Structure 1
Amino acid sequence: MTTPTPIDPALCKSLVPLNALKPESLTDLLKKAQLQTVPKGQTLFKIGDDARSALYVVKGEVHLHDAAGKALARVVGGEPSGMHRLAHQSPRRVSARCVGEVQVLNVDAGLLDVMLTWDQTGAIEVSDLSSAGDNDDWMSKLLQIRTFQMVPPSNLQAMFMRMQSVSAAPGETIVKQGAEGDYFYVIMSGRCLVTREQAHAKPIRLAELEPGACFGEEALISETQRNATVTAVLPTQLMRLSKDDFRQLLNEPLARKISLEEARRKVESGDARWLDVRLPSEFATGSLPGAVNLPLYVLRIKLGALENNTQWVVCCDSGRRSSAAAFVLAQKGYSAFVLDGGLPPPG
């Protein structure tokens, strides 16, 4: 695919539902969209893929196929068939292949959904929200992060009004290990280093965080002290949300709780797996059948070891650590549930 080019809003006048957006909402949406040229014969998506992008055929022809390769429909740019999103259900139920060279408008599906909801509810104008921060584009940046796309739009509106913009100079400590949790942070620009102090040894370097990364939620959810120190490496701009606002507006909507009975049905049917985020020493004393043990403190580092095409039922002794873990999983695009009430007693 070619390098994205600037997009004229007039291109969207016949595209549904883009043509229903307010002009200012469409402008914000198109800042993050891409107009791409796709070669003949290339597959745009396959059956089972996540529909994270809303795709419109602007020029050329695309054929939709079933699992057996049978052609089901043809979509042609400029014709009525090209006015709607290509097979936008998620996961995709068909495959899409370019018959010749095709020009495609690629829009973030989650951001489109948020913009449509805001426009239709009319609860808060974008101009009102812009006053919440110094960076005119900070809301668009946040809405590119999967975590925020999963939050109900009404919560997002309130969250944007309550977030505060803060900056940190290189070498400045933003979060200190052992301190009480007070804020949830999102990095808008710059870079941060995460380290963990050790007794009688040098701090362990855990990770470097770049724009779009979030941190600080574990102490807020688990009601524990900070388990690491976060320091700015470059001049860094952040948005932060207070502990109470974070719990009300972000954590509660994302913490999809599930009963033990329902979780067992999901696991036994093969629709989900257990993820135990307790320490290995706790796990060794007893666990649910087939559970994967990945302690909360190493979850971010070893997240790649988990399958992304399955649902995870996260568990611990009380539900606190599993709630924090589920939030991290949601940030990274995993489907996760929290075992309500924690693990059952042994026996």
Structure 2
Amino acid sequence: MTESKVDASLFANYVPLNALRPESQADLARKSVVSTARAGDSLFKLGDSADRALFLMSGALQLKDGDGKVVSTIRAGEPSAMHRIAHQSPRRVTAQCATDVRYLAIDAGLLDVMLTWDQTGSFEVGELVAGETETGGDEDWMTRLLQMRTFQLVPPSNLQAMFMRMQEVQVEPGQVIVRQNDAGDYFYVVMSGRFIVTREQPNQKPVRLAELETGACFGEEALISETRRNATVTALVRGKLMRLSKDDFRTLLNDPLSRRIGADEATAMVEGGRARWLDVRLPSEFQRGSLPGTLNLPLYMLRMKLGQLDAQQTWIACCDTGRRSSVAAFILTQKGFDAYVLDGGIPASNRGDGA
């Protein structure tokens, strides 16, 4: 096999690569390769870990089951070749070259992170306070948190530990608290002051997204999805923050709120009319295969379209790996919805993987 560097312009031909922002495509291209293989070679075998996302560029592949039977054939240029090749992990088929082939190979974990990073809403803020906020005493932030359904679902012992482990941070005007593209390290709650949220755009001035005051929270999405920060938060005036470390956030807040549910139990709830699927993948991914009766609302649109969801309905968020749906369930819970995460992601047979 031979390998060569990747031009990001290739991504326009493949799903979901073509949905990534240009800067994300450029980052991903630097860590991807175009490889070749000869007829008879195997790109992967049944049972292998799917650590790379593969896209067929030329030639033809046969997908074979454990008995060596051909279950499907993928040919470059056909619609099926626009998608990742049987990307479930572990692999459920063997991919053998029917001809000489060229294919694009991308780190699957990095791709999943990029998809989540690009879709975590319009900005890296989960402002949990509805309506106007007024700056009050230092106790206001705690009162506001305890009035929110998100924190009412957290076990009292966890809340007590959270408040004990939070660190107070004094900030000055102009101080950057969270910087776009940095790794997530803390979850923040505004005690006092005002903070502006901005997002950098290539060759453009930063876009102003929101202003946060007492009781607002930010920083959780990067911690949940293990992605980089997708906005910058800067202090406008002198103020105070309380912050919770990444590990404490996961243990005390995210794990109790994630409410993971297995496929069998989730299916029984949906079929019994007690819940509904909410697929937060991109429309191009959804159209290739989905669970029966699913509503598709991409993660990047979730905050904007929450008003269209039935607040009396229980929602089971799902995606291909569970990363994006974990963020979605946290957002839904913040806003008062009853939400679960489909553990393990959508079964490969419902994703249109072809095997």
Give the TM-score normalised by the residue count of structure 1. Answer: 0.57
Which residue does 1:147 correspond to in 2? 150
The structural deviation recorded for 1:264 is: 1.6
1:167 to 160, 170, 173: 170
Where does 1:101-180 land on structure 2 (aligned, <5 Å)? 135=138, 138-180=141-183
Which residue does 1:251 correspond to in 2? 254
Which residue does 1:332 correspond to in 2? 335
Q: How far apart in 1 are the matches of 2:258 and 2:316?
A: 11
The range that moved more, 295-304 or 142-151, is: 295-304
1:284 correspondence with 2:287: yes
The structural deviation recorded for 1:138 is: 4.7
2:228 to 208, 225, 228: 225
Preserved CA contact (<8 Å) 1:141 1:188: no
2:224 match: secondary structure: helix
Q: 1:205 is matched by which residue type in structure 2?
A: R
Distance 1:194 1:295, change over 3 A: farther
Q: How far apart in 1 are the matches of 2:285 and 2:202?
A: 23
Preserved CA contact (<8 Å) 2:142 2:215: no
Q: 1:237 is matched by which residue type in structure 2?
A: K
Distance 1:321 1:202, change over 3 A: same
Q: Structure 1: which 5+ residue stretches go unaligned?
A: 1-133
Identity among equivalent positions (%) equals 68
User: How many pairs are equivalent?
Assistant: 214
Distance 1:182 1:263, change over 3 A: same
Where does 1:25-36 land on structure 2 (aligned, <5 Å)? none
1:185 to 179, 182, 188: 188
1:159 match: secondary structure: helix
Distance 1:155 1:200, change over 3 A: same
Preserved CA contact (<8 Å) 1:276 1:315: yes
The structural deviation recorded for 1:329 is: 1.2
Which residue does 2:299 correspond to in 1? 296
Which residue does 1:205 correspond to in 2? 208
Preserved CA contact (<8 Å) 1:176 1:230: yes
Preserved CA contact (<8 Å) 1:168 1:237: yes
2:326 match: secondary structure: helix
Q: How far apart in 2 are the matches of 1:138 and 1:302?
A: 27
Which residue does 1:260 correspond to in 2? 263
Q: Structure 2: which 5+ residue stretches go unaligned?
A: 1-136, 351-355
Distance 1:273 1:245, change over 3 A: same
Which residue does 2:55 correspond to in 1? none
Distance 1:328 1:249, change over 3 A: same
The structural deviation recorded for 1:284 is: 3.0
Q: Residues 106-138 of structure 1, C-alpha deviation per residue, up to 9 Å, x if partnerless?
A: xxxxxxxxxxxxxxxxxxxxxxxxxxxx93555
Root-mean-square deviation (Å): 2.2
Q: Residues 160-185 of structure 1, C-alpha deviation per residue, up to 9 Å, x if partnerless?
A: 11001123334332211110000011
Q: 2:254 is matched by which residue type in structure 1?
A: N
Q: 2:154 is matched by which residue type in structure 1?
A: V
1:315 to 315, 318, 340: 318
The range that moved more, 336-345 or 186-195, is: 186-195
Preserved CA contact (<8 Å) 1:195 1:228: yes
The structural deviation recorded for 1:158 is: 0.8
Preserved CA contact (<8 Å) 2:141 2:214: no
The structural deviation recorded for 1:309 is: 1.1
Q: Residues 186-226 of structure 1, C-alpha deviation per residue, up to 9 Å, x if partnerless?
A: 12233333332222333333333333222111111111111
The range that moved more, 189-198 or 248-257, is: 189-198
Preserved CA contact (<8 Å) 1:145 1:212: no
Distance 1:249 1:294, change over 3 A: same
Preserved CA contact (<8 Å) 2:190 2:240: yes
Give the TM-score normalised by the residue count of structure 2. Answer: 0.56
The structural deviation recorded for 1:235 is: 3.7
The structural deviation recorded for 1:234 is: 4.1
The range that moved more, 333-342 or 264-273, is: 264-273
2:284 match: secondary structure: helix
Q: How far apart in 2 are the matches of 1:139 and 1:292?
A: 35
The structural deviation recorded for 1:258 is: 0.9
